[in-house]
Amino acid sequence: MELWNHAMDAIEERLDREFDVREVAAVAATSEYQLRRVFSVLAGMLLSEYVRRRRMTVAACAVRAGGEAVQDIAVRFGYSSADAFSRAFRGVHGIGPEQARRPDAVLVSQPRLAFHLTVDGRTDMRYKIVEKPAFRVAGRRVRATVAFQGVNAEVDRFVRALPDSDWELFEELSDQEPHGAVTVWDDADGSGPAEGSEADCYIGAVTGRPAPDGLDVLEVPAHTWASFTASGPFPEALETLWRAVGAEWLPANPYELVPAPSLVGAVYHDEEGTRADVELWLAVRPTP
């Protein structure tokens, strides 16, 4: 976690100018993709959203001080015009820069984030590294908002509406790990499904067979995969597993995430789906 906190320091040093996220990733000794994806899991927001909110928090101090014109502050914080700066400012604080200079103005502060590894007696993580040739996910697709905490209401409604015939078909098509029906979040743009963003979510089967007509198909190229398993209340067990991968496993092992869909399998212990054995599959590569 020390390197990640150095990365947060690097962001603070660059708030008053435009910067390339790759610079920050280099400070954390990781890739831009991994920085963005793991940050979203651990912090519960997009990295770009955090930078914007921190930038507007610091900019608010300059606005309140009153020593600079709004246009000059806008330029200093990397905005091309006072209007663009005002829109960003209003998006965070709910009021414009000129209103923020009033004595009774109420502003919003985004705290600076720091990451800590808590050792609380947790058991060793269970994982395996698997070389998988190209495969396809065949199933049903929905466009949904990514959420790493709690039940994803959009996906939950979609899943509950699927007919029994679909679930039977998924079981029939499944011919490789992870077995059975899986949930797959696509990573078509290479940035990783991040908290609060929209992405394609597939409910279906991992298969090497041709997909029947009418199903949505996602072709996945060959990758090395890290497969993690956990058991417990659902979705809490999956949430905890995601955080543990980002905060514990990746810093301790010579692998980094690569752009690819994420696969989640679950075997439920009760009809209500409140407890499950879960599998999380993430594409990785050895670190240089």
| Class of residue 34 by CB neighbours under 10 A (exposed 0-12, middle 13-18, buried 19+) | buried
The pLDDT tens digits along the chain (288 residues) read 688 889 999 999 999 888 899 999 999 888 999 998 888 888 878 898 999 999 999 999 989 988 889 999 999 888 889 999 999 999 999 999 999 999 889 999 888 888 775 554 454 578 999 999 999 999 999 998 887 677 788 998 999 999 999 999 999 999 999 999 999 999 766 666 666 678 899 999 999 999 999 999 999 999 999 999 988 888 888 888 988 898 888 887 889 999 999 999 987 766 666 778 899 999 999 987
Which domains does the chain carry? 2-100 (1.10.10.60), 126-286 (3.20.80.10)
Helices (H) and strands (E) in the chain, counts: 11, 9
Please tell me the pTM assigned to this model. Answer: 0.76
Q: Write out the DSSP string of 147-162.
A: -SSS--HHHHHHHHHS
Q: How far apart are CA 197 and CA 55, in angstroms?
A: 20
pLDDT, residue 151, reads 77
pLDDT, residue 113, reads 87
Q: How far apart are CA 276 and CA 279, in angstroms?
A: 10
pLDDT, residue 121, reads 42
